[in-house]
Amino acid sequence: MQHVLVIGAGTMGSVHASSYAKMENVELAGIVDIRKQIGGPLAAKLNTNYFTSFEEAVTQLPRIDVIDVCLPTYLHKKYVLKAADLGKHVICEKPLARTKEDAKEMIGYCKEKGVKLFVGHVLRFFPEYVKAKEIIDKNEIGKPAMARTTRGGIFPTAWNDWYADYKNSGGLVLDMIIHDIDFLRWCFGDVKRVYAKSVLGRSFNRIDYALLTLRFENGMIAHVEGTWAHEGFSTYLEIAGDNGIIEFDSKKEKSIYAQIRQKENGGGVAVPSSPLKENPYYQELAHFMECIENDREPIVTAEDALKAVEISLAALESIETGKVVEIKPSLTHA
C-alpha cells in the first residue's frame, strides 16, 4: 500500500486527493495547504490529516511513500526537489516546470536520488483521446496528414491570481495548450518547428487566445487552438488521414466519430464509439501507483513532459519574436 501526501488543495489537488481516497491500495496520508479555509474542509471531507506546511506534514506523518505536487507551476521545482531529498516518489501536475532548464534539473535530480517522477499529462487517459490514438495506430484512417485541436473556456482564477502572472504561469500556452501538444506528440512523434500567434502583449486583460502551427518530423502538420476568452469549457479534435477522418467534439453527445472511406464503392461509413465514462484523473493516478508498485515505466514519462515543455516554450518564443522556431533534437529521449 502506498501512502500519499498531496501538496495543494486547489482544483487539481482536490481532484487528486479525492481519487486517492477511493483507491483500495492507497492511503491518503494527508493534505497540505496554507489556506485553512480550503485545505481543512477538504481533509475533513476525505477523512485525512490536514497540515498548513510541507515541513509540518513530513515531520508529523509516520509514513509517506509518494508526494503529489498540485501547486502553481512556479512552485513545482521547489517541492519536487524537496520530495526527492526525502527519498519519496513524486507526482507533479503539468506542466513539469516553467522553464526547460528547471524541468531538466528536476528529472536529473530525481534520478540522482533514486525516486520516480511522474507528470500529470492526463489527456493520455481520457477515453476519447485513447480511442483516437488506437484508431491511428491501427491505420484505420490511413496515413495521417493534418490535425486540428481546440481547447478553452473562461480565464481561470486561483490562489493569488497566479494564472494572470505570465512570468509564473506561462499563460494559456504552457498551462493549457500543453495538453494537446503532449497528446499530438504521443500520436505523431517529435515536433520539428513551431509558429504561433496570440493576443498576449496586446490585450492580456483576463482574456487570452493563441493559435499554434506544429510541423512534425514525419511531415504531419497540426493547428492547435487555445482560448481563455469563452464561457464554458470545451475541446475539439480532428485528425485527417488519406483513408478517413477522426472527429471529437465535447459539446456533442457522440463522444468520438470516425469516418472511414470504403474502397469498394468510394462511400463512407460512420464508426461511432462510446468509451466508458471513467474518471481519467483516477485512471492516471491509479496507473502511477501501479507503476510504483511494480517498477514499470508509465504511459507518460518525465521525459515526455520535458518535450511538451520544450514545444510550449518554443511556441511562446515564436509569439514573442514573430518568427518560426526550430526545435533542436534533445539529448534526452522520451
The model carries a pTM of: 0.90
313, 315, 321, 326: CA torsion to nearest 10: 90
Question: What does the block give as the cell for 296?
Answer: 514499470
DSSP-derived 3-state class of residue 297: coil
Question: What does the block give as the cell for 221?
Answer: 502538420
CB-based contact 117:82 (threshold 8 Å): no
Query: How many Å apart are CA 110 and CA 100, to the nearest integer?
Result: 16
Domain map of the chain by residue range? 2-120+282-298, 123-277+308-326
pLDDT digits (tens, 9 = 90+) for 317-330: 999 999 999 998 75
Query: How many Å apart are CA 103 and CA 27, to the nearest integer?
Result: 28
DSSP-derived 3-state class of residue 1: coil
Instruction: For the beta carbon of residue 49, count every other beta carbon within 10 angstroms.
Output: 16
| CA angle in degrees (0–180, nearest 5) for 32-156-20 | 35
* Region 2-120+282-298: CATH code: 3.40.50.720
Domain 123-277+308-326 has CATH 3.30.360.10: yes
Query: How many Å apart are CA 292 and CA 288, to the nearest integer?
Result: 6
Per-residue pLDDT tens digits of the chain, which is 334 residues long: 999 999 999 989 999 999 999 999 999 999 999 999 999 999 999 999 999 999 999 999 999 999 999 999 999 999 999 999 999 999 999 999 999 999 999 999 999 999 999 999 999 999 999 999 999 999 999 999 999 999 988 777 766 666 666 677 678 899 899 999 999 999 999 999 999 999 865 545 667 899 999 999 999 999 999 998 877 888 999 999 999 999 999 888 667 777 776 544 444 333 344 444 558 999 999 999 999 999 999 999 999 999 999 999 999 999 999 999 999 875 444 4
